[in-house]
Structure 1
Amino acid sequence: MSDDPTDTPSTPGGPRPEPLRFFGTTWVDHDGGYGPRRAGLAVGALAAAVAGAFLLRFAYEGLAIARVGGLANGLVVAMFAVCTAIAFQRTWAGFTRRPADPAREEALRSLKAIGFVGTLVAYGLRCLVEAPGERLLRGEYETARARYEKRRGTRAGNPAARARTKRRRP
């Protein structure tokens, strides 16, 4: 195995963990710079959210300078607030469970892009707790490993030989 922390660990014949963006498979054993990487991504995502908020503030000031009116200003603020809240909620929920309808998530992609500040805040806050998506993937990986171990444990010996011994006993 190479020294690259994003390499998939070699498991002889078992299920392999799914890599996470920015973490690879280091989330499995929390090795390969997992902690510093998580801290760095949390700080980076929250800093990008603050920068995005300043960008939106400058855009709002541009609308004020252009004197487009109170209704337009209110609609823009409401749109960004709603999109940010929805993007935060969808992003946060996406770290703990798979979407029930992937087509709907794809349709909400543009809404998440408008509410990018909410997405960045959700990512940054999740990095403070764990790697984003780690809980979901860990649950799936442990379930797959348990199924694999159960199958491996029940397949001992030659099935044809077991069938013959059962026939002789009656």
Structure 2
Amino acid sequence: MSSDDNGTPDTPASSRPGEATQSGPRPEPLRFFGTTWVDHGEGYTARRIGVAAGSLALAAASCLVLSFAYDGIRIADTGGFVNVLIVAMFAICSALAFRHTWDGFARRPDSERHANLRGLLAIGFVGSLLAYFFRSLTEAPGERLHRQEYEAAVEKYGRRTARRTGNPSKKRRER
């Protein structure tokens, strides 16, 4: 029986006729790529080109907006020291945001550290956009990390579900 309130089907997805069920680990989708990173199908290359072009265009537009803001501060005649501080702040924050984003593609970021750096990353958003651009030139951003985790999960699942041969009581248990 289906529920009209939430639109759930009357049969679970695994028991529908004509549908294949997937057992084992499922790949985690990436932003803008879904799960196409697994087999590089369904327009993966076009998506990578689009992501690279989009992140570079956003970085360029952001630099243009920042130059307008800098011009406004310069016109306000706040002094040379403030102008240097503003430029240094955006340069340092962008460099740190680039490094943080780049490292996030290779390993899972620490959520507490990420929360502490949220303001800095917001100021240095141009660095994050540039990191996204450079990574998308070679792969989907975060693909290497997700691929390693997915392949490890598939291997672990394969070992766990492999059929046993011989007497199982003589086999040493894994811990």
Q: Verify same fold: TM over 0.5.
A: yes
Q: Deviations over 1:113-161 (max 9, x none)?
A: 11011000000111111000000000000001011111111x437x9x7
- Give the Cα separation in 2 of the matches to 1:30 and 1:87: 28
Counterpart of 1:129 in 2: which secondary structure?
coil
- Give the Cα separation in 1 of the matches to 2:36 and 2:42: 6
- Over the matched positions of the two proteins, sequence identity in percent amounts to 58
Q: 1:71 to 1:32 in 2, by over 3 A?
A: same
Mapped pair 1:60 → 2:70? yes
TM-score computed with the length of structure 1 as normaliser: 0.84
Match of 1:132 among 100, 121, 141: 141
State the one-letter code of the partner of 1:74.
V
Q: Which residue of 1 aligns with 2:22?
A: 12
State the one-letter code of the partner of 1:128.
L
Question: Structure 2: which 5+ residue stretches go unaligned?
Answer: 1-19, 171-175
RMSD: 1.7
Q: 1:11 to 1:124 in 2, by over 3 A?
A: farther
Q: Which has the higher helix share?
A: 1
Counterpart of 1:18 in 2: which secondary structure?
coil
Question: Structure 1: which 5+ residue stretches go unaligned?
Answer: 1-9
Mapped pair 1:76 → 2:86? yes
Mapped pair 1:156 → 2:161? no
Q: Which residue of 1 aligns with 2:38?
A: 28
TM-score computed with the length of structure 2 as normaliser: 0.81
- CA shift at 1:11, angstroms? 6.3
Counterpart of 1:36 in 2: which secondary structure?
helix
- Give the Cα separation in 1 of the matches to 2:137 and 2:168: 53
Report how many aligned residue pairs link the two structures.
151
- CA shift at 1:12, angstroms? 2.7
Q: 1:148 to 1:56 in 2, by over 3 A?
A: same
